[in-house]
């Protein structure tokens, strides 16, 4: 049986966004089972907003309006709504919904189904503007915006391929569904996070200490304007509350980073590439380690210039076709491309390409007669070749043109088949990816240790103590401050 749900919408400014939220609830909230409570928090234009809101909801059953005596902030308004204005009963659910959020069809049923999963304490929805809950999250066009229309199209295509739910480190507060009995037992939001920002993370982590999970309902979509229901210095407030969160839960940054690295599915990571925008797809190639790269540049250009936007990292002095984009920066694994062309890739290059590219083309040289003289052998490239080549179009250095036909076939595969292959590649290469991340963390830790040791040695040196003495004397000289 579906839990009856109280939907709380704190109201603070931005009438246009509020009315979109109201219209979404009027259309998609089943008031035979659920009810909505709008609480005016006496923000800018509170009176005209009140008039417009009351006019919009009228005497609709299941829709209620209240007004605070004075501004309480988001945290205070939510707490008052669920403990004073509508204390409800255990066994029901409470949905806290930002006034700049727009529900879509079936959103609450999908979220409630996840809330009923074992030990699930909080559920959030997919959105166009909700940090790690956004879809698409990583983009293939660095300058593109994540619009509502684009999110609807991508989510509509990939949501059926995603699991019903996934466990998150914390849930997003714009659309925050929880069990009434957890509020009764643990309280809702800590006033230390008033007027807002970070309170939802604290709630998730408090109940997590008692075994309750935060999840995302992949089959629920709630759009979100973001920042429209809050005023003041948001950045300073967010930063201060983030520091408090990390003081209480020092593991939180690492938990979020780990989720982004190996908690997401390949389908959601590459959602923007799986559902093409119509723009020219990007193809990336890194030839910086290739000797005599000129011939390979010509072959790649002949094979892929028609139909792809090529970007390359080349050895110094290697000429490139005028249409190519040449860069010297190291590739960003979160800057997604449709295709990556790899030449005898090392394990590190395989990890990067796996995180960055929807499709892989591997140019594979013949095994060397003297293995230890070969970069590919010394780096372990030939060791991981059987693993990566299962998921790539593989060609010899003098047959790059043949890769185009194989790539075109891969691009023409149905979405479901492409997502299945991508998921298999993601799972097969995940141990390599995690090992690379662990090595990177160890190297960073070793570098910090080395720098601290050097700093300690410097402070203990005679020259450092002499410099300190000179500075003290100089500070007492006339005209010095």
Tell me how far apart the alpha carbons of residues 109 and 95 are, in angstroms, rounded to a whole number.
12
Same domain, 72 and 48: yes
Alpha helices by DSSP H, listed for 91-196, are 107-115, 148-158, 180-186
Q: Quick check: is 387 in a domain?
A: yes
pLDDT of res. 378: 79
Tell me how far apart the alpha carbons of residues 269 and 171 are, in angstroms, rounded to a whole number.
18
End-to-end CA distance of the chain: 75
Q: Quick check: is 275 in a domain?
A: no
Q: At what angle do helices 415-460 and 347-356 cross, to 10 degrees?
A: 120
The length of the chain, given as a count of residues: 481
Q: Quick check: is 419 in a domain?
A: no
Q: Quick check: is 12 in a domain?
A: yes
Residue 207's CATH number: 3.90.550.10
pLDDT of res. 278: 84
Please say which residue of 242, 270, 298 terminates a domain. 270
pLDDT of res. 46: 95
3-state secondary structure of 49: helix
Nearest in space to 302 (alpha carbons), one of 410, 393, 403, 401: 401
pLDDT of res. 447: 55
Q: Quick check: is 22 in a domain?
A: yes
Domain count, the chain: 3
Q: Cα–Cα–Cα angle for 446, 452, 453, nearest 5°? A: 90
Report how far Cα 299 is from the mean position of its chain's Cα atoms. 36
3-state secondary structure of 295: helix
Q: Cα–Cα–Cα angle for 72, 204, 70, nearest 5°? A: 5
Tell me how far apart the alpha carbons of residues 360 and 356 are, in angstroms, rounded to a whole number.
10
Same domain, 235 and 294: no
**How do 309-313 and 282-286 pair as beta strands?**
parallel
Structure tokens at 18: 């509020």
Same domain, 203 and 328: no
Tell me how far apart the alpha carbons of residues 183 and 186 are, in angstroms, rounded to a whole number.
5
Same domain, 356 and 471: no
148: CB partners within 8 A, 6+ apart: 128, 223
Same domain, 263 and 287: no
Q: Quick check: is 325 in a domain?
A: yes
Name the residue range of residue 456's domain: 433-475
284: CB partners within 8 A, 6+ apart: 310, 311, 312, 331, 337, 339, 340, 341, 356, 357
Same domain, 77 and 209: yes
Same domain, 94 and 18: yes
Q: Quick check: is 189 in a domain?
A: yes
Q: Are 135 and 154 in contact (CB under 8 A)?
A: yes
Q: Average pLDDT across each block of 10 residues of the chain; the chain has 481 residues. List them in order.
A: 92 94 97 97 93 94 96 96 94 97 98 98 97 92 86 97 97 97 96 93 98 98 79 81 95 93 93 92 94 92 96 93 93 94 93 96 82 74 87 94 96 96 95 77 57 65 67 66 49
Secondary structure (H, E, C), 355-395: HHEEEEEEECCCCCCCHHHCHHHHHCHHHHHHHHHCCEEEE
Q: Quick check: is 481 in a domain?
A: no
């Amino acid at each position: 049986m579906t839990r009856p749900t109280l939907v709380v919408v704190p109201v603070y400014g931005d009438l246009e966004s509020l009315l979109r939220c109201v219209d979404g609830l009027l259309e998609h909230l089943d008031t035979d089972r659920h009810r909505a409570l709008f609480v005016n928090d006496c923000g800018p234009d509170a009176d005209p907003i009140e008039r417009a809101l009351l006019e919009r909801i009228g005497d609709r059953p299941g829709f209620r309006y209240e007004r605070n005596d004075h501004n309480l902030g988001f945290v205070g308004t939510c707490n008052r709504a669920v403990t004073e204005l509508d204390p409800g009963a255990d066994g029901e659910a409470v949905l806290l919904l930002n006034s700049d959020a727009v529900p879509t069809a079936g959103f609450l049923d999908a979220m409630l189904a996840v809330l009923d999963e074992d030990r699930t304490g909080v559920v959030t929805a997919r959105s166009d503007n909700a940090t790690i809950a956004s879809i698409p999250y990583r983009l293939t066009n660095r300058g593109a915006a994540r619009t509502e229309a684009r999110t609807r199209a991508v989510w509509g295509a990939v949501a059926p391929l995603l699991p019903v739910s996934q466990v998150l480190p914390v849930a997003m507060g714009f659309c925050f569904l929880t069990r009434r009995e957890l509020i009764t037992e643990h309280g809702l939001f800590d006033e230390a996070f008033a007027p807002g920002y970070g309170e939802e993370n604290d709630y998730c982590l408090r109940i997590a200490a008692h075994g309750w999970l935060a999840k995302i309902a992949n089959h629920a979509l709630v759009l979100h304007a973001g920042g429209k229901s809050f005023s003041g210095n948001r950045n300073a407030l967010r930063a201060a509350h983030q520091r408090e969160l990390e003081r209480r839960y020092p593991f939180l940054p690492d938990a979020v980073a780990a989720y982004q690295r190996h908690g997401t599915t390949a389908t959601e990571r590459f959602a923007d590439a799986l559902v093409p925008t119509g723009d020219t797809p990007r193809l990336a190639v890194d030839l910086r380690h290739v000797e005599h790269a000129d011939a390979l540049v010509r072959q790649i250009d002949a094979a892929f210039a028609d139909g792809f936007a090529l970007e390359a990292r080349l050895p110094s002095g290697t000429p490139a076709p005028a249409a190519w984009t040449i860069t010297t920066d190291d590739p960003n694994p979160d800057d997604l491309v449709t295709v990556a062309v790899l030449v005898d890739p090392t394990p590190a290059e395989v990890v990067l390409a796996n995180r960055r590219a929807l499709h892989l083309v591997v140019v594979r040289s013949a095994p060397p007669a003297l293995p230890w003289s070969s970069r590919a052998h010394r780096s372990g490239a030939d060791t991981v070749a059987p693993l990566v080549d299962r998921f790539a179009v593989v060609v010899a250095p003098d047959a790059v043109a043949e890769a185009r036909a194989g790539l075109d076939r891969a691009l023409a595969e149905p979405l479901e088949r492409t997502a299945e292959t991508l998921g298999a590649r993601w799972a097969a290469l995940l141990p390599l990816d995690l090992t690379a991340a662990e090595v990177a963390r160890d190297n960073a830790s070793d570098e910090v240790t080395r720098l601290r040791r050097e700093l300690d040695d410097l402070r203990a040196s005679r020259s450092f103590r002499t410099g300190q003495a000179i500075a003290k004397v100089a500070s007492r000289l006339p005209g010095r401050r």
